[in-house]
Chain A
Amino acid sequence: MTATTQQLLDPKTAIYNEVLPATYPWARVIKKGQILRIVDLGGNQAVDFLVYNADDPSERYSAPDTIVNQGNIFVTTNSQLISNEGRAMMTIIADSCGRHDTSGGACSCESNSVRFGLDKKYQHACVENFLAAILPYGLGKRDLVSNINFFMNVPVSEDGTLEIVDGISDPGSTVDLRAEMNALVAISNCPQMNNPCNAYNPTPIQLIVWDAV
């Protein structure tokens, strides 16, 4: 894994700089060449992330195409997020954390009912956030696919055992993504408080966008 830091981008020159509260959804078109930075302000916060071709959203992030393309189930610096059409949608150009999960997917009301108890169906979940984020762009449930979880640690052992364990991101960890096409990014700042994916304590994140250099 390749943890790097990106010192070149000055938040003072950003075109967008907002804090997204814990548990909230977010969506924005990141134009080709623009750079999106996600800051894990509190540390160990799972940031559920989907990306669509803003000009034709039937082209979208594909988890298996991404991991097969790079031969590794984690994404980090230099990873390209590959679409279902085999094209690079975004490139991770800097990453102070070192690994991010591609296999755990998003929490939903329904999966929470199975994982944590039938009464948990009524809790807020990432699928709720994703739906709220993509609805204004004319997208819906059929557009939801397996997502990336930035700052989340899901190791898979050789016998297939898969665990969601404490994250490896510290407060202030960052990941920088450059859009390789006009990219509609949808984020759920994961509300999950039933497992260690965000240390049982959802915290805010910061989203910063710079124009193409």
Chain B
Amino acid sequence: MVQLSSIDTNSQIDSDLVLMQETVPGGAYWSGVIKRGNTLRITDLEGSRGVSMLCYNADNAIERFNAADTAKIQFNAFLKQGMVIYTDMGRILFSITQDTSGCHDLLGGCSNAISNAKKYGEGDWKNSRDNFLKALTRSGLSKKDIMPNLNLFTRIAVKPDGTMEFREGCEKPGSFIDLRAEMNVLTIISNCPHILHPGSIYDPKPIQIQIVKSPAPAPDDLCRTANPEAVRGFINTDALFVQ
């Protein structure tokens, strides 16, 4: 195991299965490739203000996360256990095999320099859009590759008239989400407060990233059998790896 930093999280993973572990401070970003079959666990260590995330097919990054398809195909705009994360090409990046948070947003997008200045005043507050750009550039990608992103550990409620409302009180220190990679996934994480988080003090909390060796999905795997759409999504995805 590559122990880049150590923190105790009660995460109940057999330490032999943990391939990599790292703590990402508030305001920082992380990127890495999660190989097909391994699981990315992201743990909210101290009550997150939101974690913004982008993901791509690591073998062909022109295929990428699609928020609209992910919501539309599963008839839900919040991510939770049993759901999957779709690319823009009818395939699956991640399965959500466990989730103890239940608060993940597909609508709100990410913070930027202007939104941070409005909330926190003048200052060099790290924001997700700039974090995304720096991480993408390291992978040979650029501004054109920024799509609407997903946000972990936050809930945006939508009223019948379409009004968006940040739901406070969703922070649960110690909660985590397990994302099993269904293809090789280039993952970019920006640990900055959600753009709609109402706090006026910039105080993002650390998160933990673990890459975990996970067992092959069983025939009755929750995500693979969730609905006919998921079954077809996995047929499309598995076809990438037939040879």
Contact = CB atoms under 8 A, between A and B. Distances in A.
Interface of A: 1, 58, 62-65, 67-68, 71-74, 84, 86, 99, 103-106, 108-115, 117-118, 121, 127, 141-146, 154-164
Q: Which of A86, A105, A164 has the most CB of B within 10 A?
A: A105
A97 to B, nearest CB: 13
B113 to A, nearest CB: 9
B20 to A, nearest CB: 29
Given A68-B196, A142-B62, A146-B148, A111 B163 contact: no
Interface stretch (B9-17, B26-34, B64-72): B64-72
Contacts of A157: 158, 160
Given A72-B162, A73-B162, A163-B75, A111 B109 contact: no
Contact of B144 (A58, A72, A109): A58
Contacts of A73: 107, 158, 162, 164
B209 to A, nearest CB: 24
Nearest to B113: A86
A110 B90 contact: yes
Given A67-B107, A68-B109, A142-B145, A155 B73 contact: no
Interface stretch (B39-47, B185-193, B215-223, B230-238): B230-238
A146 B67 contact: yes
Given A68-B195, A103-B107, A142-B62, A111 B90 contact: yes
A1 B160 CA distance: 11
Given A64-B148, A142-B144, A164-B72, A114 B232 contact: yes
B236 A110 contact: yes
B134 interface: no
A58 B148 contact: no
B114 to A, nearest CB: 5
B91 interface: yes
Nearest to A164: B72
Nearest to A76: B162
